[in-house]
Structure 1
């Protein structure tokens, strides 16, 4: 019951960085997600039926923790001279140390060997990489995290993973009404070629599972937007990259059990 209460607390925080007591028995995992596109020529828009866009209205992207938040708050030793102190029963967990969860690392995509290898491949283009720490979420109700390389989703001070970040960020057409249109007309923000947006989750019941639901936006031969989508869930092996395939793009996920809660430098 106590473990379930901590699990519910972790989910209800809306993926904001928070501390979970290690004595609760909840395990933490580092989740890595990488998305790449295949460099394929696109058809005309009338030859493709666009897939529905992933609903991200109630989701947040994973963000870095505040600089003053340590990854681990060490347990406090009891006052052995106090009247209330007792010798712990053998096998009883007495540590009240707390570990930080639901935060992203500041790892750059260019520092990741797999990202670099894919980006150098002549027929592929690496689009996104992020790593964060979280507990497992329920299999029947996975806790999804929003991922995106679209400039509309990314704070100005956070770098984009897509190579043409300046042209994407300076897209003056996005979100502005045309001066020749009525004042109440508002253009839908443009998602440039090679934009990815979606959600991923890591869950655990008896086994560990990865869940992905992601759109890839490509520019058609006639200049329109084509929307692709992959929606998959599968059992994964800890410590290994799991591949989610699609004819136009691929998603890779790696989940590693955290065993070292050392504080950041």
Structure 2
């Protein structure tokens, strides 16, 4: 599945516009300008007016100036008016069909299953927490799901030895929302890894107390699990292939 990582690694699919395109600048200029106009401020009527407020030695000055120059030149346009956006979407759609969707069908893969995070989340109070996020903060399926436009869903998968909650992600095929939701539901019903949340609620004689939310009864869950789409697939196809 190396092909899935085309855009992440900088290898653009065939037909994708050049990275040197100004489309991002044009669209940002348009939406920034719309945001500023929405404020109805008497002094700042346009994004261009920010150049009179921000000093030139500000670290963001060049970025603001590039946006303001695009607006002043009449180049600010919404996404739907930029031809290169349609070209990019067509290239990604082709990549999704030929290198992802067809691959899943040919290999008999129903979903990709992997940990949502590739590290254990550190407590926020720890000094090294920011370093951990900087090193390992990328979500394994974030780029692929977003770029390809395929569904992904995350469910609890238990706790580490330190008691840190962990989660599992199911990523499916194009328009495969119903299938991966059924996989996620059946997985949760079978494992019961999640813990019920506690809600802050007043009790008689007390100002506040944590009241746990009751779990649903087990019997209906087992019945639903037996009739879920995951089980139906097993009966219909003999097995369900969940590729890691």
TM-score range, shorter chain: under 0.3
- With normalisation by structure 2, the TM-score equals 0.25
Question: Which has the larger share of strand?
Answer: 1
Greater C-alpha Rg: 2
Bigger relative contact order (CA 8 A; separation at least 6): 1
